[in-house]
Amino acid sequence: MTDTGSTGDARRDAYIARDERAAREQAEVDAMLLGTAPLPAPDPATRVPSVDELAERREVRVLPHGRRRGWAAIGGTAATAALLASLGTAAVTGALDAPALDTPTTAAPTQVVPASSTSATPDWQAVTAAVHESVVAIDVTTASGQGQGSGVVIDDEGHVLTNSHVVDGARELTVSLADGRLYKAELVGQDETTDLAVVRLLDPPADLAPATLGSSADLAVGQAVLAIGNPLGLDSTATTGIISALDRPVVTQSRTQSVVTNAIQIDAAVNPGNSGGPLFDARGQVIGINSSIATLSGGGGQSGSIGLGFAIPVDQAADVAEQLVEDGSVEHAFLGVGLTDATAEVDGVTRAGARIEQVEQGSPAAEGGLQRGDVVTAIDDRAVDGSAALTGYVRQYSSGDTATLDVARDGERIEVDVTLATRPAP
């Protein structure tokens, strides 16, 4: 005869033991992740729409990822979880403490992406095999902790392009190549305005495999893409998807300023640690630098990819990288206006745009004839739906470039040509 009471007690005891074991294991992981130093209070961040609006409506938030302790997080469970996941992987794997290899590794034969790999019929196995050696993992030590990110080799001199927020405040940088070799690195320069940075391997090997930089000028929604990086410390992780949108205004917060990017939106999975890694097309060319993700707010436990990732267009990234390598700093074009979001009606049609609230004296805007109250609805035939969009577009231009603005003024549409310039030093 079966003793159902004893069986039930045994099953209950087994469940209790399992839960207690899980709790102990979680406590050990939490201790490893958090260490002895508490996380600093997050700094407030600027978002579009505002953080308060997002919190109230439980919408998505945009946040940098692949950061370390001390990152200016936007607050909330989602941001904290993403931060801790990246830190925890570094602690568990001990990647930052691994010794450098002294024995050089023989370079693998160069692989070529077959001509048959197109956006319509991508051969991701061939593309990954051809490009993965150009992708690196970056381990960072700062005064407040450790963190991880990704990067892409851009020349045979050891320069690696990554995000500024990955290396911000770095006291020590270690770059891990795809074959596991570790190299110390130094910061060449960083640009918080675009969230881009360049580091250089100290004593780089002769067999580096620089990536081929493509162009972001002719990208299309629906185009196939491949992201490779170091999510949660899992180096050389490849994920695929499509371009979901172009010129998506994304506003994040660096240590000192708001970062506005008209980004490539993708649905390929990117997670904490992917920051700074390359986004490839089906031909194996870099078309963007993965930099941020959107995550659900409200404490629902969703902190990883929800299919909303954002990459800095490669044309902008390449220009910034070139200046950082040459000069260690970057000059940015500016318009010289204060902006707010607005709508304007022209010829019976209402359009969203960026209203000019202030025009700086002697600025390109003043020289071009822009006025307070003008609503900018397009720049060089690209629609402007708000202040973030216009700011993001202007940051893609170089000093001396000329742009044509579509402006709604007193119910009429006019075109205003402006020649952008570099902001004078204070």
Catalytic residue positions, numbered: 165, 195, 275
Dihedral of the CA atoms 93, 98, 103, 108 (nearest 10)? 30
* Dihedrals phi, psi of 277, to nearest 5 degrees: -80, 160
Instruction: Please report the DSSP string for 242-296 in residue order.
Output: EEEEEEEEEEEE-SSSEEEEEEEEE-S---TT-TT-EEE-TTSEEEEEEEEEEEE
Assign 3-state DSSP to the chain and report helix, strand, coil percentages, each to 5: 25, 35, 40
Instruction: Please report the DSSP string for 349-415 in residue order.
Output: EEEEEEEEEEE-TTSHHHHHT--TT-EEEEETTEE--SHHHHHHHHTTS-TT-EEEEEEEETTEEEE
Q: Is the dihedral of CA 329, 331, 332, 334 positive or negative?
A: positive
Coil, helix or strand at residue 66: coil
Q: Are 178 and 136 a contacting pair, CB within 8 Å? A: yes
Rg (CA), the chain: 24
What is the spatial distance between Cα 398 and Cα 318, in angstroms, rounded to a whole number?
Answer: 12
Q: Are 287 and 264 a contacting pair, CB within 8 Å? A: yes
User: If you search the block for the tokens 């990117």, which residue do you land on?
Assistant: 270
CA distance to 17, 342, 343, per residue, from 386 (Å):
56, 7, 9
The token pair that represents 269 in the structure block: 């999975």
What is the spatial distance between Cα 84 and Cα 141, in angstroms, rounded to a whole number?
Answer: 15
DSSP 38: P
